[in-house]
Amino acid sequence: MLLVVCHTGAAAQTQDLSPLLPAETGGNTAIRQAVISGDLARADSLAAGLPERELWRGILAIVHDDTTAAIRILRKSNAPKALGVAYYMVRQHVLFRGQMAEAIRVDPSDFGPYYYLGRHYDTDAADPEAAARWFRLALERNPGHSRSRAYLGGCLERLGQTEAAAAAFAATPQLAQSQLGLARLRLAGGDAAGALPFAEKAMRLDAKNAAAAKLAARLYAGLQRPRDAVRVLEKAAALAPADATVHYQLFRLYQSEGQPQKAAAARSEFQRLQAIYGIQP
């Protein structure tokens, strides 16, 4: 699910947990830092000594991807934002929206609910105009939140507001999604060579980003660099094994490179996935 940004263990270090967590106060600074750094054992220990321990237990259940426990705990904790995220994780979108509305009523200054509603309307409702409104509201409350700005850029891109989208992406150069957005904009403008460095940087920033690998492969192929295209497509296939289009692209490239056995295997895998998902090349 694209909304939830929490992962267990060391992976939490690379995630933006700030929209989920309560505002920093003297009493919760240590546990916030433990959650954000991925030191979840320490966070579990710290939660036991806090007055808001049930809220933090619920948040930690979300981070551990234990949604059943999270919902059970948070329903008793008067924590609508965190409960809304837990509902989202089990695709209860009506309950999610209701909890986010309540979170805004309780604390209109918290950017988190606006950010999560933006992600919901972007990802689930496919309504970039509504999503952009929510991201702008999040940024009014937290102008430094880079993911809100980067996702706003993606909405503006889909709305055809390319200059504003480019500005939003350029303002968040540390994010792979922004580099990927800049690559798409360059490619849409007919500048494949200019798009490639942005796609390559996106791959460096996020080695597990299959979309970046797919776009880089497309650019390499168009720039007559088939070996590089094969290299990153093989990486994309490992990152997104159910993506039939990756295997079709590999089939075409292996074929053009005179590797019939690999071409046959890629074609067979494409056909298998196509039969399951009905995806066209």
pLDDT in tens, 113-166: 999 999 999 999 999 999 999 999 999 999 999 999 999 999 999 999 999 999
- 3-state SS string over 179-232? HHHHHHHHHHCCCHHHHHHHHHHHHHHCCCCHHHHHHHHHHHHHCCCHHHHHHH
Residue 64 domain boundaries? 1-98
Q: Does residue 20 form part of some domain?
A: yes
Q: Which helix (H) or strand (E) holds 176?
A: helix 176-188
| Dihedral sign for Cα atoms in the order 238, 239, 245, 249 | negative
Residue 3: is its pLDDT beyond 60? no
The identity of residue 142, as a single letter, is N
- Alpha carbon 54 to its chain centroid, in Å, reads 27
Q: Would you give the distance in Å from CA 215 to the centre of its chain?
A: 17
Establish if 220 belongs to a structural domain.
no
**Is 261 domain-assigned?**
no
**If DSSP codes are grouped into helix, strand and coil, which group holds residue 91?**
coil
> What are the residues whose beta carbons fall under 8 Å from the beta carbon of 185, sequence distance 6 or more?
157, 162, 165, 166, 169, 195
pLDDT: which is higher, 39 or 94: 94
The torsion angles phi and psi of 205, rounded to 5 degrees, stand at: -70, -30
Q: What is the DSSP string of 15-27?
A: S--TTTSPPP-TT
- Is there a domain that residue 190 lies in? no
Q: Which of 5-14, 49-58, 183-192 has the lowest mean pLDDT?
A: 5-14
Per-residue pLDDT tens digits for 197-249: 999 999 999 999 999 999 999 999 999 999 999 999 999 999 999 999 999 99
Give me the mean pLDDT over the 78-100 stretch: 96
Angle formed by the axes of helices 112-123 and 80-89, nearest 10°: 20
199 in any annotated domain: no
Domain assignment present for residue 258? The answer is no
Distance CA 96, CA 240 (A): 28
Distance CA 273, CA 275 (A): 5
How many domains does the chain divide into? 1
Task: Report whether 174 contacts 146 (CB < 8 A).
Answer: yes
Among 34-43, 163-172, 256-265, the range scoring the smallest mean pLDDT is 34-43
Answer yes or no: is 128 within a domain.
no
In a domain, 74, yes or no: yes
